[in-house]
Amino acid sequence: MSELSQFFLDKALKDFGEDETKRKICLDRFREWIVQHPFLTFHDLDETCLLMFLRGRKYQMDKVCQSIEQMSIFLKNHPQWNKITENEMPMFLNNCKSGMCLSKFRDSDGRRIITLRVKQLEDLDLSQDEYLKTLQIFLNASLYEQETQIAGIIFIFDLRGITFNLIKKYSIFSLLDFFSQLKYCPIRIKQINLIGMPTFAVFIFKFVKKLLSSKLQKRINLIKDLSDLNEIMDTTELLKDDKSDFNEENVMIIDDYIKKASKMYDSFEVDFNKLKSCKSLKLENID
């Protein structure tokens, strides 16, 4: 496990009471629960992967178990977004070069900021599944960052300039299915900022919003323009054009992202026959 700075150690202790003793006890109990599971088989679940679920549910063990069960089922039911092959590296790399999806910033509270420039989809002519897979790669890979597990994520969807032709390419049902994972994904979403949403996209937003918890709904900000985002967070470097900064180091970072995201999909198997007849294993919370 990578070393955490004192800033993130203090934040973990403050936010969910994590110290070395609690972390070890919960990890041991979590591993015991995993070995006994009736319909999930786990492969190479390292400590960082287990911690994403513990931290994502603030060490509430009943919710931790429910999260990993539901997330495993979602991943295996949606290989079109989660199963990543080596030949997809050029596509993902091109998407990043375009500036469509950026994930290189943290704010002063340590929160990972993922920015999605939706207008770029028209230039790239991506299919719906290609776009959602790109988003899923960033999401899954970010979950392997211990700092992000502790501090959380801020999403920025830059919707400025999108046209109805782009909206027509996407299935509302697939979008609803994709975002339904936020109910059990071990991700700590701190904000969802939607910039420049056109009127014709409001109906999609209303459908998707209903899938989210009441807590997360309160963290959604509808923002008219980039200048208004400054009232919520520092945007000095955030939405500048990063194409000229794309170098060999960026390629290595993205290659690492794909490996991490692929690891998420390959870490467990679901026996769907047993799933129909087996009950979930319960695990009591630790005081």
Question: For the CA atoms of the chain, what is the radius of gyration?
Answer: 19
Q: Is the pLDDT of residue 216 over 80?
A: yes
Regarding predicted confidence, which is higher, 68 or 211?
A: 68
Q: In the Cβ-directed half-sphere of 169, how many Cα atoms lie within 13 Å? A: 16
Q: Is the pLDDT of residue 108 over 60?
A: yes
pLDDT, tens only, 51-94: 999 999 999 998 998 899 898 889 889 888 888 777 777 777 77
**Residues facing 155 on adjacent strands:** 114, 192
Domain boundaries, given as residue ranges, for the chain: 6-80+262-277, 88-259
Instruction: Work out the average pLDDT over 233-255.
Output: 57
Q: Tell whether the torsion through CA atoms of 22, 24, 29 and 33 is positive or negative.
A: positive
Instruction: Work out the average pLDDT over 126-147.
Output: 83
Distance CA 135, CA 114 (A): 9
Pairing, β 40-42 against β 268-270: antiparallel
Q: How confident is the model at residue 235 (pLDDT cuts 50, 70, 90)?
A: low
- Would you state the pLDDT for residue 54? 95
The answer to whether the CB of 223 falls within 8 A of the CB of 199 is no
Contacts of 87-93 spanning 24+ positions with Cβ under 8 A: 88/133, 88/258, 89/255, 89/258, 91/130, 92/133, 92/134, 92/137, 92/254, 92/258, 93/251, 93/254
Instruction: Work out the average pLDDT over 148-155.
Output: 93
Range of 139-143, 160-164, 187-191 with top mean pLDDT: 187-191
pLDDT, tens only, 153-167: 998 888 888 888 777
Q: What is the pTM of this model?
A: 0.85
- Would you state the pLDDT for residue 244? 42
Instruction: Work out the average pLDDT over 195-210.
Output: 84
Give the angle subtended at the CA of 151 by the CAs of 186 and 46, to the nearest 5°: 50
Pairing, β 101-106 against β 112-117: antiparallel
- Would you state the pLDDT for residue 83? 82
Q: How confident is the model at residue 168 (pLDDT cuts 50, 70, 90)?
A: confident
Regarding predicted confidence, which is higher, 203 or 16?
A: 16
Query: CATH for 88-259, among 3.30.310.10, 3.40.47.10, 3.30.110.70, 3.40.525.10?
Result: 3.40.525.10
- Would you state the pLDDT for residue 51? 94
